[in-house]
Amino acid sequence: MRVFVTGGTGHSGSFIIPELIAAGHEVTGLARSDTAAAALTALGATVRRGGLEDLDELGEAAAASDGVVHVAHRQDLLPTGGMSAVAAAELPIMHAYGEALAGTGKPLVVAGSIGSPGNLGRPIVEEDPALPSGDEHKGTLRARNAVERAVIDLAERGIRSSVVRIANIVHDTTDNAGFLPLLIALAKEKGFAGHPGDGTNLWNAVHVRDLASLFRLALEKGPAGSYWHAVEDGGVSFREIAEAIGSRLDLPVVSIPADELMTPGYFGFLANIATQSYPASNLITRRTLGWEPNQPGLLTDLDNGHYFPAVTAPVHDDVATLEDFVRGGEGALAMVDENAVWREAESLPWGGEWRGPDGFARLTREIDVLAELTARGHEIVRAGDVVELRLDAVFTSRKSGRQLPMTVVEHYRVHDGKIYGADAFYKDTQAVNDLVENG
CA distance 176 to 423: 12
Q: What are phi and psi of 260, to 5 degrees?
A: -70, -10
Report the pLDDT value the prediction gives residue 310, as an integer from 0 to 100: 74
CA distance 382 to 317: 10
Report the pLDDT value the prediction gives residue 384, as an integer from 0 to 100: 79
Report the pLDDT value the prediction gives residue 113, as an integer from 0 to 100: 93
CB 417 within 8 A of CB 401: no
CA distance 339 to 168: 28
The strand pairing partners of 30, in sequence order, are 48
Give pTM, 2 decimals.
0.71
The strand pairing partners of 22, in sequence order, are none
CA distance 284 to 177: 29
Angle CA 198–204–208, to nearest 5: 145
Report the pLDDT value the prediction gives residue 140, as an integer from 0 to 100: 66
Angle CA 373–377–382, to nearest 5: 110
CB 108 within 8 A of CB 101: yes
Which residues of the chain, if any, have pLDDT below 50? 313-315
CB 27 within 8 A of CB 7: no
Count of C-beta atoms within a 10 Å radius of residue 257: 12
CB 152 within 8 A of CB 228: no
Dmax (CA) of the chain: 63
